C-alpha cells in the first residue's frame, strides 16, 4: 500500500507547499493529494515555482495522485459553459501537477432524496465529464460520501452501471461507506474493479459523524471532538489495512485528517500503518 497526505489537512495552517513536500518525503508518504482550492491558488499565484516543486517531488519518488474538487452536478441553473470552464480548469491543473485523477462528489443530495429528473441530470453530466476527461487521458473519480448519490454501496454500483465508462472510477471512503450501511471489506470487494483511490479517517461514535459535514470541516471554529486516529475509531482499520496489504493493492490511500496538530497526527499514523503492514516493526503510541 502507498499512502498520501491531503493538503486539506493543513487548510488552517500557515505552511508552504515546499514544506509539505519535505515533510511527506521525511515521513514516508508516497504522495500529496491536492485540494482543488489549493491547486488553483498554487497555479495562479506561484506559476514559476510549480516546475521546481514538481521536480523536487519526483526526485523524492513522490507524486500528486489526485486533485479533489467539487462541481454542481445537480444545479439546473448551471449553463453548459460553466461546466465546460470547470472541465478545462481540471485539465489545466492536472497537466500542471502531473496527475491523472480528478475527484468529485456525485451531486449534493442523498440517493434516497433525489428524484428521477435529478438522477438523470447527474448521470448525463457525469457521462459528459468522464468522456471529455478521458479524451485528455484523465480519469473522473467519484467519492463514496453521504448526501451524494454515492452514499451507499447499491447507489454507487447503480451510478457505475448507468454511466458505464471505463474512465469513471471510485474513491472508496471506508468510514463513509460504513456510514451508508455496508461492511467496508464487503464494499471493497464489490467495488474493487472500479477503485482507484481510498480515503481513510475515523471517529469515536456514530453520533459524531456529522463533524465531517463540509460546513464543519471548513470552519476554523468547527467541532473537532471525535476525530481520532485510525486505530482508535469505530471502523476497524487494522482489518482493512491487513486486507489491502494481503491483496497487494496498488492504489494509493489518502489519510484525511481534519483535526488539530496534523503534522504530529500524520507522523503517528504512518508509524502505525507500517507496523500493521509489517507487524515485526515496533510501534509506540504517540500522545
Active-site residue identified among 108, 145, 197, 199:
145
145 tagged catalytic = yes
134: which residues sit within 8 A by CB, 6+ positions away?
Answer: 165, 166, 167
Residue showing cell 476554523: 220
**From residue 96, how far is each of 45, 91, 139, 167, 197 by CA, in Å?**
13, 9, 16, 20, 20
On whether the CB atoms of residues 90 and 69 are closer than 8 A, the answer is: yes
**From residue 247, how far is each of 86, 198, 231, 251 by CA, in Å?**
36, 14, 20, 11
49: which residues sit within 8 A by CB, 6+ positions away?
Answer: 18, 42
Residues acting as catalytic residues: 145
Amino acid at each position: 500500500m502507498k499512502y498520501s497526505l491531503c493538503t486539506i489537512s493543513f487548510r488552517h495552517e500557515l505552511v508552504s507547499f515546499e514544506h509539505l513536500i519535505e515533510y511527506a518525503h521525511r515521513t514516508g508518504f508516497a504522495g500529496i493529494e491536492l485540494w482543488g482550492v489549493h491547486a488553483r491558488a498554487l497555479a495562479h499565484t506561484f506559476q514559476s515555482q510549480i516546475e521546481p516543486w514538481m521536480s523536487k517531488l519526483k526526485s523524492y519518488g513522490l507524486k500528486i495522485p489526485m486533485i479533489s474538487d467539487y462541481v454542481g452536478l445537480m444545479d439546473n441553473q448551471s449553463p453548459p459553459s460553466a461546466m465546460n470552464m470547470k472541465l478545462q480548469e481540471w485539465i489545466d491543473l492536472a497537466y500542471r501537477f502531473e496527475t491523472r485523477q480528478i475527484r468529485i462528489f456525485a451531486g449534493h443530495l442523498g440517493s434516497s432524496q433525489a428524484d428521477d429528473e435529478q438522477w438523470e441530470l447527474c448521470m448525463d453530466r457525469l457521462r459528459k465529464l468522464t468522456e471529455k476527461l478521458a479524451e485528455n487521458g484523465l480519469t473522473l473519480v467519484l467519492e463514496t460520501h453521504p448526501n451524494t448519490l454515492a452514499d451507499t454501496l447499491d447507489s454507487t454500483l447503480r451510478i457505475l452501471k448507468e454511466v458505464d465508462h471505463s474512465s469513471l472510477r471510485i474513491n472508496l471512503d471506508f468510514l463513509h461507506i460504513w456510514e451508508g450501511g455496508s461492511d467496508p471489506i464487503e464494499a471493497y470487494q464489490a467495488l474493487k474493479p472500479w477503485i482507484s483511490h481510498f480515503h481513510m479517517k475515523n471517529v469515536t461514535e456514530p453520533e459524531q459523524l456529522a463533524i465531517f459535514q463540509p460546513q464543519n470541516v471548513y470552519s476554523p471554529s468547527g467541532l473537532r471532538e471525535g476525530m481520532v486516529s485510525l486505530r482508535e475509531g469505530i471502523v476497524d482499520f487494522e482489518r482493512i489495512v491487513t486486507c489491502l496489504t494481503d491483496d497487494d493493492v496498488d492504489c494509493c490511500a489518502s489519510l484525511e485528517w481534519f483535526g488539530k496538530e496534523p503534522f504530529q497526527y500524520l507522523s503517528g499514523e504512518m508509524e502505525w500503518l507500517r507496523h500493521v503492514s509489517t507487524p515485526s516493526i515496533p510501534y509506540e503510541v504517540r500522545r
